[in-house]
Structure 1
């Protein structure tokens, strides 16, 4: 039919087709169509990759905030544990109980006096001479860069000197620019010394011409929280007008117990750790609640609320809030008159340290974190106008790019700890505030960075790695709620087939976990579909990927309990382990059991676990019975209990109790 003909079983190409084949315009058109096809495919690939990255990020953040919410309710549990855990050498008891903190200045100075500490001849680290001068700062930086531990004597001296200066500062601090070109604002550092040093490398070390504001959360989570705080306090001593440190929600004695700071002090300073933690806690309580740059830019760690009033903050006694989670209680004054807790001023501090912005108008309790509030663009605008401010700069939230604008650019979040959740999970950032910014003529200049922890990889590899870590944490969370989830799944499975619709599975996990995550997007990675029916899932497969090895195997219910309470059980283990050896001696266990037996109050959080321990350590148990129990827990018979034996013992007791 025209173009092709056949002869002898062979096809011949017509002259017309030859011309078309050699037509440069047609070849160009084919190349363009191929390029468009590749571009569309790549954009779809990038979009899917970005969707996975955002879902992973949401998992990390949701689990973090859920843990912080649990921490708010865990305070009563720890407080009651400490109530009956006094004993020489127990840093958790000596440093955390607010009622044990000295009421008088002289008492604190005596209890934490560095002059009582001798520098051993074997100490080969840096020697500091007070008052500090600028020449001593570079060697201190190098010491911490090499991850060397500063001697307790010098660390305590830094804290005492810093405390004197912080006490003289107002609860909200004025930061005038004067003739300076800018001031640098950093967000959360969280004990990540590499991030802090990278900021200094890129932006210069603090001095009179290069001022900084560090917006809280210096400590917890990272492995060099003590060094980060000490280094910034040292720079503050040398340049008190150029290094401003706001308080964050982790500069808090209760948070420090839960999120690593106290444990770090125990490991690094051992017999002096009680003094260190006690004095750090007091210094943290003297940090300013917020700062104001050139009377125009408000800088605070968390945020604001419809009740925020700097006049109220200016009058409050911030030092009495050693923990914002544990405000001072009603008490009777020496003259016999009652002193009531001031909820107005407590709310001011809580909101500034714990709040988060939201996209919609209004102000409501921050149920996601369990403290502070959500404030909308209308609240932000109202508070800024009330105080004649141009902008709010806050931290408190990890952002993928290290920063994020909201509320019509009136609110800027800045976060300075890169790789916060996992390697390559996020960038860090810091910002520079110039006079143009304070006048409202421009936005702050943002500088992003990221500490390189390993070899460079592709974006796909980075997403795969962070996604794997996020899903592992999420699976543990699901397993810890196995009982509640199974009950919810069975409501949608009247025939007991083990299968429910994918939609019912998503609704169930959202309802039980309280986590607003893209469950439908992540479903295929968390639960198996029914063969031949992709709209249904086998809900029992939700828990199939988790196992916990133990002697003789661990039953499902005990495994669930261990995942649910593992963090707190580890905290209890560390509390009983007074000598910080990593093992509980039988003597330490016996002493702890006796103190647990005295406990007779109900606890809102961890009730199931604590009831088990209460029943296992009845107050009428004899010394002989407790010794026998300690011997049984010591499975390998080496005379001491390690963390695995401790968890296994809880598993067995929980099984017996059920």
Structure 2
């Protein structure tokens, strides 16, 4: 009987152990799938962010080109040039004249500042920000002028010394996240030295005694005007390289195609530069990292990012570094949240993923015409279906977002049992709300795609700052936009759209209303009807 009981007990133990292993393996797989989905969502956010930066670089290059070739442009179209640069070629206004252009209404209830700022002003400003109040543009402009004045007198390189009794706290990009800054101050309240905030990078010097730190900051500009007037072309390229370059695993130095400016540099480039200047390490920021930091190039490059929840709640941790003499860098991670307790991982991943898919869908719908053409070129049988590989290639070639399209296909399109994609489903659940049915879809998509650039161009052309587009201003804006982007849309279409949108026929259009007319409608904002697909994607 004793032997039988023992045998039965052993079998039960084996079953319990097997069940435990099954549950453990399932949970590990489940966590791994959640992490993969989180990684894909981050990739979407970052790729679209870089694509937007690419567009901004193009627009900046365009205005620089216009300035450099202003004489020729003035001869070809004097009216357009006068609209663009009417105030540029006048005497530069001083600070008070610029600030005086923006009045603060009596109805404004936010903080009111006096310059130079006192500690009382700073405390007042911080308390206002804690209450989610917005600083009026008048005071924002004053702060920018004050900052510019201070930066002009600061050196390009700052040398900071450490000693056995002192530490230096190094922060990366904060992107205006005040709660993250307060958390850093709270955590380092016992540190003697204030944090050294960086935007792009700094390097530790192995030659100097006491562990000197060299911190790069923005360059000092002596003259007013545009960058092309301040710096030579070679110097301006150096500034762009400093601002927009990123480390990568591949050797060499090659163009940063994601951002549209700067370069990618490999571990060999890092070693060469550090050896040349007898430095140990490069610490830089400028890229959001899931854990708040990343170490690459054999430990010689550290990326530190201090803005937690940068893309979405739960998208990433923030981090900072403490450096002290004779010790390795120490990393401190955190995540600021308004909740009293952190929501479960699957909820955070779902919210983050839904937001990422939503903005990706907007980017897809803005290129619908181009994507349809690419799909149909590969649909030789006119079945409405193509292979996943063909679909992924088309998405990448048109959108240029460098995303794992095969993996994302499960969330973006319908796939049949043979593994073929119904490519029309790429545009399901979302559409651009057309202001007028008669206007061609290509025009709607183009205006939506470049709406931010159109806003910038309009603000330059709108010399009276009225916020209204006259028909002449609208045509001038479109002419400039079409020239820059080589968009093949007939002027008559634009005139038709402008005339129809001028509802009260007063000869002008409110540009904000114009942009809002191209609203992206999401049929399933929370994507709740895709639960079956969502379950498969897990």
SS of equivalent to 1:534: coil
Deviation of the 1:424 alpha carbon: 1.4
Which residue of structure 1 aligns with residue 358 of structure 2? 472
Which residue of structure 1 aligns with residue 470 of structure 2? 589
* Residue 504 to residue 109, structure 1, CA distance change in 2 (3 Å): closer
Which residue of structure 1 aligns with residue 530 of structure 2? none
2:286 is the counterpart of 1:400: no
1:381-400 pair list within 5 angstroms = 381-400=271-290
Larger radius of gyration: 1
* Residue 85 to residue 319, structure 1, CA distance change in 2 (3 Å): same
Which residue of structure 2 aligns with residue 517 of structure 1? 403
Contact 2:471–2:507 (Cα < 8 Å) also in 1: no
Taking structure 2 as the reference length, the TM-score comes to 0.78
Taking structure 1 as the reference length, the TM-score comes to 0.65
Measure, in 1, the Cα distance between the counterparts of 2:334 and 2:296: 21
Measure, in 2, the Cα distance between the counterparts of 1:477 and 1:383: 39
SS of equivalent to 2:418: strand
1:405-444 pair list within 5 angstroms = 405-436=295-326, 441-442=327-328, 444=329
Deviation of the 1:85 alpha carbon: 8.2
SS of equivalent to 2:450: helix
* Residue 470 to residue 35, structure 1, CA distance change in 2 (3 Å): same
Which residue of structure 1 aligns with residue 161 of structure 2? 176
Q: Which moved more, 1:70-79 or 1:44-53?
A: 70-79
Measure, in 1, the Cα distance between the counterparts of 2:481 and 2:389: 42
Measure, in 1, the Cα distance between the counterparts of 2:484 and 2:331: 44
* Residue 479 to residue 550, structure 1, CA distance change in 2 (3 Å): closer
Which residue of structure 2 aligns with residue 560 of structure 1? 445
Match of 1:632 among 500, 509, 516: 500
Deviation of the 1:86 alpha carbon: 7.1
Match of 1:46 among 22, 28, 31: 31
Q: Deviations over 1:41-74 (max 9, x none)?
A: 1111111111111111111111111111122112
Deviation of the 1:297 alpha carbon: 4.1
Measure, in 2, the Cα distance between the counterparts of 1:616 and 1:390: 58
Which residue of structure 2 aligns with residue 364 of structure 1? 254
Deviation of the 1:300 alpha carbon: 4.6
Deviation of the 1:612 alpha carbon: 5.0
CA RMSD of aligned residues (A): 4.3
Aligned pair count? 502
SS of equivalent to 1:547: strand
* Residue 536 to residue 515, structure 1, CA distance change in 2 (3 Å): same
Q: Deviations over 1:240-262 (max 9, x none)?
A: xxxxxxxx6xxxxxxxxxxxxxx
2:128 is the counterpart of 1:143: yes
SS of equivalent to 2:347: helix
Contact 2:159–2:213 (Cα < 8 Å) also in 1: no
SS of equivalent to 1:173: strand
Q: Deviations over 1:608-652 (max 9, x none)?
A: 28x6569857xxxxxxxxxx986632337799745586259899x
Match of 1:65 among 44, 50, 61: 50
Measure, in 2, the Cα distance between the counterparts of 1:62 and 1:215: 23
Which residue of structure 2 aligns with residue 608 of structure 1? 487
Which residue of structure 2 aligns with residue 275 of structure 1? none
Q: Which segments of 5 or more consecutive residues in structure 2 lack a partner in the other structure? A: 71-79, 520-538
2:170 is the counterpart of 1:185: yes
Match of 1:543 among 401, 413, 427: 427
* Residue 93 to residue 77, structure 1, CA distance change in 2 (3 Å): farther
SS of equivalent to 1:370: coil
SS of equivalent to 2:432: coil
* Residue 111 to residue 183, structure 1, CA distance change in 2 (3 Å): farther
Match of 1:328 among 199, 206, 229: 229
Which residue of structure 1 aligns with residue 371 of structure 2? 485
Measure, in 1, the Cα distance between the counterparts of 2:373 and 2:185: 53
SS of equivalent to 1:59: helix
2:270 is the counterpart of 1:380: yes
SS of equivalent to 1:500: strand
Q: Deviations over 1:262-292 (max 9, x none)?
A: xxxxxxxxxxxxxxxxxxxxxxxxxxx9687
SS of equivalent to 2:484: coil
* Residue 109 to residue 565, structure 1, CA distance change in 2 (3 Å): closer
* Residue 476 to residue 21, structure 1, CA distance change in 2 (3 Å): farther
Measure, in 2, the Cα distance between the counterparts of 1:636 and 1:157: 38
Q: Which segments of 5 or more consecutive residues in structure 1 lack a partner in the other structure? A: 1-14, 217-247, 249-288, 302-312, 330-340, 618-627, 652-658
Match of 1:450 among 325, 330, 335: 335
Deviation of the 1:535 alpha carbon: 1.6
Contact 1:183–1:433 (Cα < 8 Å) also in 2: yes
Deviation of the 1:456 alpha carbon: 3.4
Which residue of structure 2 aligns with residue 233 of structure 1? none
